[in-house]
């Protein structure tokens, strides 16, 4: 009897530490070009950024509440990008993930891809007993500020109306050759003060939170990252292979 082998899809993961935003963006462009031409496999960059405000393609300048000069005095960079979405903030203590994927290998549907990124983070938060969910029309992952814990809810998940604070932002770009860049930012132990300088994602009636803010203890970034990789592997049906940055 002939046995048909099933190809195991892999994703190369690079733990890059703290990388300036513009350097990471150029790195993504180089990797996306290499992925498009088949020189590399699907790759996931995991890193942090120094304090940086980024504006996506749909950004409204009025959602930036301070001038770039005033922000620079505080050590906060401002960068206009080609990702989707409005304005967000990055800082150390935030797990930022940039999947450089050939979308055709993962369903060839950008909206489904966004939902998968959300699902990865929802499952990570469930590991910490948090009842995270989605809000229709607002990409990202959300909690309830007053009742974030799953055990506090009569049902497994809160309703959209209950979800009033964002814990993870998501914004992506798809190249003409079908390769994804940009990705997600999960607030773990982030100093949230920088979010007061913007209207996060252009949403005025909802706030921002972090794992540190809603848990009794502050989780270590490596522990959260490990859970994130486990769930990324499950949701995207891939095998995670960690490689050195220079490779």
Q: List, in sequence order, every beta strand (DSSP E) within 188-233.
A: 207-208
Contact 100, 35 (CB under 8 A): yes
**Which tens digits make up the pLDDT trace of 167-209?**
999 999 999 999 999 999 999 999 999 999 999 888 888 899 9
Q: What is the mean pLDDT of residues 224-229?
A: 98
Q: Is residue 247 part of a domain?
A: no
Mean pLDDT confidence for 130-147: 92
Dihedral sign, Cα of residue 58, residue 60, residue 66, residue 69: positive
pLDDT at 8 exceeding the cut of 90: no
What's the domain count of the chain?
Answer: 1
Q: Give the model's pLDDT for residue 237.
A: 95
* pLDDT number for residue 126: 94
Which pLDDT band, with edges at 50, 70 and 90, does 157 fall under? low
Residue whose token pair is 């998940």? 157
- The residue-averaged pLDDT of 36-58 equals 96
More confidently predicted of 189 and 6:
189
Whether pLDDT at 51 is above 60: yes
- Contact call for residues 45 and 27 (beta carbons, < 8 A): yes
Q: How many CB atoms lie within 10 A of CB 47?
A: 21
Q: Which of 218, 158, 173, 170 is nearest to 191 (CA)?
A: 218
Beta bridge partners of 55: 80, 87
Which percentage of the chain shows pLDDT scores above 90?
Answer: 77
pLDDT the model gives residue 204: 86
Among candidates 21, 203, 150, 157, which has minimal Cα distance to 94?
21
Residue 201: active-site member = yes
- Which position among 76, 201, 229, 238 bears the catalytic label? 201
Residue 98 lies in a domain: yes
Looking up residue 131, the CATH number of its domain turns out to be 3.30.930.10
pLDDT at residue 7 in the model: 61
Say whether pTM exceeds 0.75: yes
**Cα–Cα nearest to 185, from 141, 227, 222, 229:** 141
In a domain, 142, yes or no: yes
* Other CB atoms within 10 Å distance of the CB of residue 164: 17
Is pLDDT at 83 greater than 60 in this prediction?
yes
State which residues form the domain around 86.
Answer: 10-242
Structural domain contains residue 29: yes
- Written as six digits, the tokens of 2 are 């002939």
Residues 6+ apart with CB under 8 A from 152: 131
Place of tokens 């809160």: 158
Beta strands in 70-164 (DSSP E): 77-80, 87-90, 94-100, 133-135, 138-143
**Other residues' Cβ atoms within 10 Å of the Cβ of residue 104:** 11
Question: Is position 119 within any domain?
Answer: yes
Looking at residue 156, its pLDDT comes to 61
Looking at per-residue confidence, does 145 or 225 come out higher? Answer: 225
Q: Return the structure tokens found at 3.
A: 């046995």
Reported confidence tier of residue 154, pLDDT bands at 50, 70, 90? low
Average pLDDT over every residue of 1-19: 77
Question: Does residue 74 sit within a domain?
Answer: yes
Return the structure tokens found at 56. 């996506």
Cross-strand bridge partners of residue 118: none
226 found inside a domain: yes
Does residue 3 lie in a domain region? no
Residue 6 or residue 228, greater confidence = 228
Give the mean model confidence (pLDDT) for residues 112-133.
96
């Amino acid at each position: 009897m002939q046995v048909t082998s099933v190809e195991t899809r892999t994703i190369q993961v690079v733990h890059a530490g703290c990388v300036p935003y513009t350097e990471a963006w150029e790195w993504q462009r180089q990797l996306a070009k290499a992925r498009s031409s088949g020189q590399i496999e699907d790759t996931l960059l995991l890193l942090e950024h120094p304090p940086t405000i980024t504006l996506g393609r749909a950004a409204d300048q009025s959602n930036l509440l301070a001038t770039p000069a005033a922000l620079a005095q505080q050590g906060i960079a401002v960068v206009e990008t080609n990702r989707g979405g409005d304005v967000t903030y990055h800082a150390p203590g935030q797990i930022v993930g940039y999947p450089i994927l050939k979308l055709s290998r993962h369903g060839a549907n950008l909206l489904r891809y966004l939902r998968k990124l959300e699902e990865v983070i929802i499952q990570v938060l469930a590991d910490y007993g948090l009842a995270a969910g989605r809000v229709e029309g607002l990409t990202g992952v959300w909690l309830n500020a007053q009742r974030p814990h799953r055990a506090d809810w009569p049902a497994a998940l809160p309703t959209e109306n209950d979800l009033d604070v964002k814990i993870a932002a998501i914004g992506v770009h798809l190249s003409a050759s079908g390769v994804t860049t940009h990705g997600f930012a999960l607030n773990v132990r982030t100093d949230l003060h920088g979010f007061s300088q913007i209207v996060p994602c252009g949403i005025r009636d909802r706030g921002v939170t972090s794992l540190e803010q809603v848990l009794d203890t502050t989780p270590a970034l490596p522990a959260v990252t490990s859970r994130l990789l486990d769930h990324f592997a499950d949701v995207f049906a891939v095998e995670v292979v960690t490689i050195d940055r220079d490779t």
